[in-house]
């Protein structure tokens, strides 16, 4: 465990990367960074507005730049849902830290996304069934990247206690 400095949390939007990341960072006494929050701070507008004004390609370029400039040291890094899936980001993550895939069922992702309406530019304005279909589609495209994580946790396993126990076995 002492060898692990950076821990990258990857998974679909609304999988709980930020919430879980803060909990895990506190338990490990690590710093916490949410790449989306850093990006918003850098550009001064919301991700939804950035998508609307500059497009997804511009967003992905910024996301890559921020990912590659995350501070070294004992840090938990919550990535955006698509971050591992563009450019060579998953390779960067694998080379520079330990990754954990938070695998949450699509129905739960849809439920959480409906509560966070407006904060997810690629999912905004979708009704429940369309949202589930879009999440299933995105998950099928992203799963090959997510599956490259060092650790995969699902459902009840997504807790700092469980992950700490697993990390201590390393």
**Residue 115 scores a pLDDT above 80:** no
170 belongs to a structural domain: no
Domain count, the chain: 1
Mean pLDDT over residues 128-137, rounded? Answer: 85
122 belongs to a structural domain: yes
Confidence band for 168, pLDDT divided at 50, 70 and 90? confident
Confidence band for 122, pLDDT divided at 50, 70 and 90? low
112 belongs to a structural domain: yes
Cα–Cα distance, 132 to 135 (Å, whole number): 5
76 belongs to a structural domain: yes
The CA-to-CA distance between both ends of the chain, in Å, stands at 6
Q: Hey, is 45 helix, strand or coil? A: coil
150 belongs to a structural domain: yes
Confidence band for 130, pLDDT divided at 50, 70 and 90? confident
**Residue 123 scores a pLDDT above 60:** no
Look up the domain containing 97 and give its range: 6-159
130 belongs to a structural domain: yes
Residue 170's pLDDT is what? 83
What is the percentage of the chain residues whose pLDDT exceeds 70? 92
Residue with tokens 């997510």: 146
Of 20, 19, 31, 15, nearest to 97 (Cα)? Answer: 31
pLDDT tens, position by position, 34-66? 999 999 999 999 988 998 899 999 999 999 999
167 belongs to a structural domain: no
1 belongs to a structural domain: no
Residue 120's pLDDT is what? 52
Mean pLDDT over residues 5-30, rounded? Answer: 95
4 compared with 147, residue with greater pLDDT: 147
pTM, rounded to two decimals: 0.91
Q: What is the mean pLDDT of the chain?
A: 89
Of 88, 94, 93, 126, nearest to 110 (Cα)? Answer: 126
CATH number at residue 34: 3.40.50.300
103 compared with 112, residue with greater pLDDT: 103
């Amino acid at each position: 465990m002492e060898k692990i400095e950076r821990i990258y949390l990857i998974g679909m939007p609304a999988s709980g990367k930020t919430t879980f990341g803060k909990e895990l960072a506190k338990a490990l006494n690590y710093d916490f960074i949410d790449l989306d929050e850093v990006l918003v701070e850098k550009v001064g507008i919301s991700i939804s507005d950035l998508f609307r004004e500059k497009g997804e390609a511009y967003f992905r370029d910024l996301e890559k730049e921020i990912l590659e400039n995350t501070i070294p040291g004992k840090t938990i890094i919550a990535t955006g849902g698509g971050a591992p899936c563009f450019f060579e980001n998953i390779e960067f993550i694998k080379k520079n830290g330990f990754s954990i895939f938070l695998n949450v069922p699509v129905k739960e992702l849809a439920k959480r996304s409906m509560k966070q309406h407006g904060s997810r530019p690629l999912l905004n304005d979708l009704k429940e069934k369309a949202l589930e279909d879009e999440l299933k589609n995105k998950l099928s495209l992203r799963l090959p990247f997510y599956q490259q994580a060092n650790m995969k946790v699902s459902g009840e396993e997504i807790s700092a206690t469980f992950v700490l126990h697993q990390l201590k076995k390393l």
